[in-house]
Structure 1
Amino acid sequence: MPEVWERGADDEFAGRADDGSYDATARVVDARGVDDEQRVEAALRPKRLADFPGQPRVRDQLSLVLEAARRRDAVPDHILLSGPPGLGKTTLAMIVAAELERPIRVTSGPAIQHAGDLAAILSSLAEGEVLFLDEIHRMARPAEEMLYLAMEDFRVDVIVGKGPGATAIPLELPPFTVVGATTRAGLLPAPLRDRFGFTGHLDFYSSDDLAAILVRSARLLGVEALDDGIAEIAGRSRGTPRIANRLLRRVRDWSQVHGRGVVDLEAAHEALALFDVDVRGLDRLDRGVLELLCTRFGGGPVGLSTLAVAVGEEPDTVETVAEPYLVREGFMVRTPRGRAATALAWQHLGLTAPMDAPGAGAPQLPLDGEGRFS
């Protein structure tokens, strides 16, 4: 293998091998920016349940479970958190460990493809430790079956040998708590789902809750933010804190480069227009899907594969990234014959809806911008 050098400031030919070729990976990477971004992400996460905004039902239920376990001086029941991405499942898992004052082990379902992988993790857990399994529905079936026994009896059977001579050696585990997170609770097998003593479903946030999150995030980022700018960002964040914090950082960038260094209404408008986020939170992909539905396919219905090819994306991307929000907000409907644009989609694009469009001709209720009666 040819030798590779790092490129120096005054070395024009650094990185060139003996045969005159270059290795594309030979470069100097400054990791300070990555570390700063990670520190920002960590700083924006609430550390205690009392500081967790929104989700009052789940917060109160989880608080009861943890407080009861503390008073009994016992590990709490296993916890399952479900809901769409970006609503705070990982943050709540970190909060559980912080409230219990216990260490947390973090892994994910796709990373555990063999029972041996899970056995190695379980055998190294300390008493009372929290095991966070993200995307738990994607765990391999053999590992799931091992997890059943571990969660219920705090024991795993390690198989030694193969064939008729194989022997199962029981391994006792200290009590621990599994916190599972999933975006698709329906894919969890019933035996695994039933072993969780508490299940919490996270819903999308209201604009007021998102505004409170953004105020806190702006303070932690050291950014001056006005109420009108915060409200504008909150209204375009799809009810999702992760999106709200991401948009806040982009508006901050715009205000520091082109504005007055303040997150105000003007900065929010200009920055979100630059990043193709419209007043209803639709991005480039969302608008592309709706525009193709309305202009090229006459509003549909059209098949998912055809729609994905037309928009230049994979069918899975359209189905899992764009479609859930468009359906939830009433811009698109799923029919047995395919996807169809509603009258609201035509109206949002400034087009006249055909009479047979879903929702066309329905009485228009006096609603404000957030869907409440005005």
Structure 2
Amino acid sequence: MTDEISPVSPAPQDDTELAIEGALRPASLDAFIGQHKVRGQLELLLEAARLQHRTPDHILLSGPPGLGKTTLAMIVAHESNRPLRLSSGPAIQHAGDLAALLSSLTPGEVLFIDEIHRMARSAEEMLYLAMEDFRIDIMVGKGAGATSIPLELAPFTLVGATTRSGMLPNPLRDRFGFTAHLEYYDAAELEQVVHRSSLVIGVDLGPEARGEIARRSRGTPRIANRLLRRVRDYLLVHQVQSDVQAVSAALDLYDVDAIGLDRLDRAVLDALVRKFRGGPVGLSTLAVAVGEEADTVESVVEPYLVRIGFMGRTPRGRIAMPEAYAHLRIPHSDGGLRFDDL
């Protein structure tokens, strides 16, 4: 992909969040910014399927939230000229739910299952046969009189998305013909995302203003687009120029600091450094200290803090790294344990 911005459709007339969200999603691999290796691999896979007049192989997309897994599934359907069916793992809690979904697919349809690792185990086992042989077995009756009736399915392409690929059982993972892991975006790629999105929603931002949003977006396009919408609101209400000062003021208003930390991120860091002297401290104890669920701290806050080197995970608990003290402007003490002590 070249560095130039792909043409985009005009801003939607119905200015709702749903309409804007749809407009911000690119419709082709050429318009998709970032993930160069994955885009090249998908392009090859889809072109090979087209030349052989068959449905594309099943695709598994893994990676942190907000990097474009759902968008890529939509692009697979669009570029294959196939209809798309959307579902999610939590919605498939019984084998019967999956059987009803699979039996209603049309030939060549693309089925997207988000958070596929959260499907019920009975549904996962049914999916094995469906992916491999396009067939499922329906059990009729109970006890000794129960019989299995095979049901042929139309050929389909399954696109699974997961934020925790390690939770997928090996038999399911092995049935995907192509697996890809999406990586966080760098600042230059995020600036392209912000540029494209600003054209869609009608906000005129200069390079410095776009860069400021990109730097605070935690390597994630979804966050970049969300911050851009908040900047748009700020500019509209205050009627100010769309320069870097206005962008900074808007993001500061929403408690997003210069490196993308929000209120909860700073609360976790502050508790870790001040209350627990840098750790180590258990996850549940840290979560109670900031008034959040442990799952929220582990899945929303912790990954970014670990990635930027502010927090460390050890067998004895979470610890604050020197960079966290510097960011909070707190003198580094020798009270907590460090990696060298473990």
Q: TM-score, normalised to structure 2's length?
A: 0.93
2:18 maps to what in 1?
38
Residue 137, structure 1, aligned to residue 131, structure 2: no
Instruction: Give the Cα separation in 1 of the matches to 2:95 and 2:120.
Output: 8
2:68 maps to what in 1?
88
- Contact 1:343 1:360 (C-alpha < 8 Å) held by counterparts: no
Whichever residue aligns with residue 349 of structure 1, its letter is: L
2:5 maps to what in 1?
none
Instruction: Give the Cα separation in 2 of the matches to 1:57 and 1:356.
Output: 45
Q: CA RMSD in A?
A: 1.7
SS in 2 for 1:51: coil
Instruction: Give the Cα separation in 2 of the matches to 1:35 and 1:146.
Output: 42
Q: Counterparts of 1:169-184 in structure 2 under 5 Å?
A: 169-184=149-164
Residue 267, structure 1, aligned to residue 246, structure 2: yes
Q: Which one scores higher on RCO, CA 8 angstroms, separation ≥ 6? A: 2
2:182 maps to what in 1?
202
Stretch moving more, 167-176 or 92-101: 167-176
- Structure 1 residues 68, 110: closer, same or farther in 2, change over 3 A? same
Instruction: Give the Cα separation in 2 of the matches to 1:259 and 1:272.
Output: 16
Residue 73, structure 1, aligned to residue 53, structure 2: yes
Instruction: Give the Cα separation in 1 of the matches to 2:77 and 2:223.
Output: 25
Counterpart of 1:168 (choices 127, 136, 148) is: 148
2:169 maps to what in 1?
189
- Structure 1 residues 289, 58: closer, same or farther in 2, change over 3 A? same
Q: Counterparts of 1:254-333 in structure 2 under 5 Å?
A: 254-260=234-240, 262-333=241-312
Per-residue CA deviations over 1:295-343 (Å, capped at 9, x if unaligned) read: 1221111121221111111111111111111011100111222111110
Instruction: Give the Cα separation in 2 of the matches to 1:309 and 1:246.
Output: 28
Instruction: Give the Cα separation in 1 of the matches to 2:316 and 2:132.
Output: 45
Instruction: Give the Cα separation in 2 of the matches to 1:150 and 1:263.
Output: 52
Counterpart of 2:316 (choices 333, 337, 346) is: 337
Q: 1:255 Cα deviation (Å)?
A: 1.1
1:101 maps to what in 2?
81
Stretch moving more, 135-144 or 158-167: 158-167
Instruction: Give the Cα separation in 2 of the matches to 1:35 and 1:181.
Output: 29
Instruction: Give the Cα separation in 2 of the matches to 1:94 and 1:211.
Output: 23
Instruction: Give the Cα separation in 1 of the matches to 2:178 and 2:337.
Output: 39
Q: 1:91 Cα deviation (Å)?
A: 0.1
Q: 1:354 Cα deviation (Å)?
A: 2.0
SS in 2 for 1:295: helix
- Contact 1:82 1:201 (C-alpha < 8 Å) held by counterparts: yes
Stretch moving more, 294-303 or 322-331: 294-303
2:325 maps to what in 1?
346
Structure 1, unaligned runs of 5 or more: 1-32, 362-374
Whichever residue aligns with residue 242 of structure 1, its letter is: R
Instruction: Give the Cα separation in 1 of the matches to 2:259 and 2:325.
Output: 14
Instruction: Give the Cα separation in 2 of the matches to 1:88 and 1:264.
Output: 28
Instruction: Give the Cα separation in 1 of the matches to 2:96 and 2:208.
Output: 54
Instruction: Give the Cα separation in 2 of the matches to 1:296 and 1:182.
Output: 35
Instruction: Give the Cα separation in 2 of the matches to 1:54 and 1:188.
Output: 26
Instruction: Give the Cα separation in 2 of the matches to 1:45 and 1:76.
Output: 22
Q: 1:259 Cα deviation (Å)?
A: 3.9
- Contact 2:195 2:210 (C-alpha < 8 Å) held by counterparts: yes
Q: 1:352 Cα deviation (Å)?
A: 1.2
SS in 2 for 1:170: strand
- Contact 1:230 1:264 (C-alpha < 8 Å) held by counterparts: no
Instruction: Give the Cα separation in 2 of the matches to 1:34 and 1:138.
Output: 34
Whichever residue aligns with residue 305 of structure 1, its letter is: S
Q: 1:34 Cα deviation (Å)?
A: 9.3
Q: Paired residues, what number?
A: 328
Per-residue CA deviations over 1:91-121 (Å, capped at 9, x if unaligned) read: 0000000000000110001100111111111
Q: 1:239 Cα deviation (Å)?
A: 0.2
- Contact 2:319 2:338 (C-alpha < 8 Å) held by counterparts: no
1:214 maps to what in 2?
194
SS in 2 for 1:80: strand
Instruction: Give the Cα separation in 1 of the matches to 2:146 and 2:242.
Output: 65
Instruction: Give the Cα separation in 1 of the matches to 2:337 and 2:247.
Output: 33
Per-residue CA deviations over 1:226-264 (Å, capped at 9, x if unaligned) read: 11110000001000000000000101111111242x432
SS in 2 for 1:233: helix
Instruction: Give the Cα separation in 2 of the matches to 1:136 and 1:228.
Output: 39
Instruction: Give the Cα separation in 1 of the matches to 2:281 and 2:313.
Output: 10
Structure 2, unaligned runs of 5 or more: 1-12
Decide which structure has the larger Cα Rg and report it: 1
Instruction: Give the Cα separation in 2 of the matches to 1:185 and 1:358.
Output: 32
